[in-house]
Chains A and B, each alone.
Chain A
Amino acid sequence: MTTTIQDQDSKAPAADAAIERSAAYYRLKADVEDFYYHEADLLDDRRFRDWLDLLTEDISYFMPIRRNVKFGQQAARENTKRGEGISWFDEDKWTLTKRVEQILTGVHYAEEPLSRITHMVSNVQIKGARPEVGAARELDATSRFLVYQNRVEYETYIFVGRRNDTLRLTDTGWKIARREILLEQNILLAKNLTTFF
């Protein structure tokens, strides 16, 4: 197996290949940040169907399980892989739609009553733009998230991690075509993952 320092699932290029910080870059970055804030609003306002509309039909939504491995094996073995074995999430739009439908039944007791959730997004960077930064139709963006969940009375969870996304421009604006969610936990310190990241 060949391995590189970059996580195999991350399309983010190495730091030395960073995009030049031009005015066009900052304009694009602002657009992406705005998109993420809008996405967070939809989720936190529980507009789940509208959130689904932000996903392309061929979305790949992936959250690996993170493992404790020996130094030097991180790239090859730390994260479970997209497309093989068991991860927390490795799914398509059909499954994500099912998750939304389940919440909307009103009897999905793990989200009934609904949790109070806030998504914070930061550290946004554009790592690639195609065909070019000034006229991007598709881009790779990395960010950090902090998701706060309070459930019923005393249940509280804080999920912190990174996202590696590919966004695609459509007639109705940017959409998420690929998302990798790296939660900074090994054993999941929460009873459930009922929220979207």
Chain B
Amino acid sequence: MPLRNDFDQLVDVKGGFISREIFVDADIYRQELDKVFTRAWLLVGHESLVPNPGDFYTSRMGEESVILCRDKKGEIHVFLNSCRHRGMKVCRYEQGNTSLFTCPYHSWTYTTDGKLQGVPLHRTLYDGVLDREANSLVSVAKLCNYKGSIWATWDKDAPDFITYLGDARIHLDQALDCRDGREGGSEVIGVHKWVFPANWKFAAENFLGDTYHNPSHRSVDLIGIGPSAAAGKKGRRDDELEKAQHVWISFPEGHGVHSAIQPEANDYIESFLDNPILEKYFRHCFEERKRRLGEQARLLPFVGTIFPNTSYHGRQPRGLCAWHPHSPTSTEGWRFFLVDKDAPKEAKEYLRRYYMRYSGPAGMTEQDDMENWLYATAASTGTIARRYPFNYQQSMGAYVTDHPLGGEVSTQITEQIARGFYRRWTSYMQGGDWHELLGAPAGNRQAAE
């Protein structure tokens, strides 16, 4: 089993080399589950999946099934989906409404706030022994409803979610806020779930801001599938950022984003040309957002990953992904597709169709991503292959640390974000304390407080 200093050798951020072992090795994978996925904040779902008291939605954290549930009083909980008696999966439905979770095995029942309620033959078999309170469903240590998205961690010592997000927050906001600049207001219109044979970090890293992999999407760019494709535009989305300054940012917590800053004038770039109603609507949203946010409106999102395994697409298309680890070489992808809850019907109708043709295993863009992740994983498992680390030397040193957006900001395509991600991954694998996990350099713990 790799030791603390082994990880420094596996992840050589300074030299720009990262061992293939961390993408294929079973021991390292087991340790990730233990050291990363039990501590970091993970995306569980969205409040729109459980709008009413008694609503539940089964989700995952790491390899394990959890129940996202709104109790009778309207409060949201996340529980491990496993009975305290013999571990039976308490809920095998994906979504629904209930007043009790009844375990199929011996019929213990749990209320929607996780409390053990019914125990068959309790008086005869357990009287005076079984402490119901102590046998509630296992709850996460902390939970956060951030603008409708639900996050949780198993670590009671974890910082609150806002602290955990750090300066990546305003970038994630762009995916969660309304198109016209109002805060929050999104809803999930559907969820993709699929399994692909690749290490989960390939997906996480891809969304950190690996803009360099654009050539693998050549086919879809050649034919054009964007919101102006029927009007004759090529590419897979409208180029809303054609005049913007792109920025690639690595944050000390391990998050990474690719966003863009519009020029001062921040003029509307024509988009959604397929349909005049949509064109008008999105132009209106753009102008409203500009009016509401002023200078702030110049920041537009592209993609990002919140450490370790939550990614977002900020605009075209728009959604949140969780890359759930399954094994060293297999991952279960979940994508929650987002729209503004109060968007007009035509807009929702157009967007859902665009999302489907773009995203996931049936999406013309992302099919090619999956092909890359699979064969990169498969070709890295060999004895010889493992001796040769991956090269992460792109744009070494090409970033500034005094940018108002915080973090390490690059204005060219860079692997600095990936280097930052694995630097933080190493801290988790070495069992670092939360000061270190938030990126405070050793000996300078003040900075994290």
Considering only CB atoms, which chain A residue lies closest to B218 in the complex? A107
* Chain B residues with a Cβ closer than 8 Å to the other chain, count: 42
Partner of B191, one of A86, A90, A95, A108: A86
Query: A112: shortest Cβ distance to chain B, in Å?
Result: 8
- In the bound complex, do residue B356 and residue A68 qualify as a contact, i.e. CB atoms below 8 Å apart? no
Please report which residues of chain A, range 161-187, place their CB below 8 angstroms from some CB of chain B when the two chains form the complex. Answer: 186-187
Interface residues of B in 214-242 (CB under 8 A from A): 216, 218-220, 222-225, 229-230
In the bound complex, do residue A98 and residue B223 qualify as a contact, i.e. CB atoms below 8 Å apart?
yes
Q: Contact between A94 and B361 (Cβ–Cβ < 8 Å)?
A: no
A193 touches B362 (CB 8 A): yes
Would you call B352 an interface residue if the criterion is a C-beta within 8 Å of the partner chain's C-beta atoms?
Answer: yes
A80 cross-chain contacts in B, Cβ below 8 A: 190
8 A Cβ contacts from B333-387 to A? 337, 352-353, 355-357, 361-362, 364, 367-368, 370-372, 374-375
Q: Collect the chain A residues with CB atoms within 8 Å of residue B370's CB.
A: 110, 191-192
Q: Choose the segment among B91-99, B251-259, B275-283 that binds chain A (4+ C-beta atoms closer than 8 Å).
A: B91-99
Contact A187 B193 (CB under 8 A): yes
Chain B residues with Cβ under 8 A from A70's Cβ? 93, 96
Chain A 1-36 near chain B by CB (<8 Å), digits 1 or 0:
000000000000000000000000000000000000
For the complex, give the distance between the alpha carbons of A90 and B332 in Å. Answer: 23
Sample (11) of A-B pairs whose CB atoms are under 8 Å apart: A67-B95, A68-B92, A68-B94, A73-B96, A86-B356, A87-B356, A105-B219, A105-B222, A109-B371, A152-B375, A193-B362
A101: chain B residues within 8 A (beta carbon): 223
Assess whether A90 is in contact with B193, with CB atoms less than 8 Å apart.
no
Cα distance, A65 to B352, chains bound together (Å): 14
Q: Is the CB of B357 within 8 A of A191?
A: no
Contacts of B216 in A (CB 8 A): 109
Q: Which of B124-132, B194-202, B399-407 contacts A (4 or more CB under 8 A)?
A: B194-202
> For residue A191, which residue of chain B has the nearest CB?
B196
A152 and chain B: residue at smallest CB distance: B375
Whether B96 lies near A69 (C-beta < 8 A) is yes
Q: Check A91–B371 contact: CB distance below 8 A.
A: no
Residues of B within 8 A of A111 (CB): 367
Is A51 interfacial (CB 8 A cutoff)?
A: no
Minimum CB–CB distance for A51 against chain B, Å = 17
> Nearest Cβ in chain A — how far from B212, in angstroms?
16
Please name the residue on chain B nearest to A108 by beta carbon. B219
Query: Roughly how many angstroms separate A132 CA and B157 CA in the complex, as a whole number?
Result: 72
Partner of A86, one of B190, B196, B222: B190
Q: Within the assembled complex, what's the spacing in Å between the Cα atoms of A94 and B354? A: 12
Q: Which residues of A contact B368 (CB under 8 A)?
A: 108-110
Cβ-defined partner of A188 (8 Å) among B195, B220, B230, B367: B195
Asked if B194 contacts A187 (CB within 8 A), the reply is: yes
Smallest CB separation, B87 vs chain A (Å): 19
Q: Does B192 contact A (CB under 8 A)?
A: yes
20 new A-B contacts, CB < 8 A, other than A88-B356, A109-B216, are: A65-B192, A67-B94, A69-B93, A73-B96, A85-B189, A86-B189, A86-B192, A86-B352, A87-B356, A90-B356, A98-B229, A109-B368, A110-B370, A188-B192, A188-B194, A189-B194, A191-B196, A191-B374, A192-B361, A192-B362
Partner of A89, one of B197, B355, B362: B362
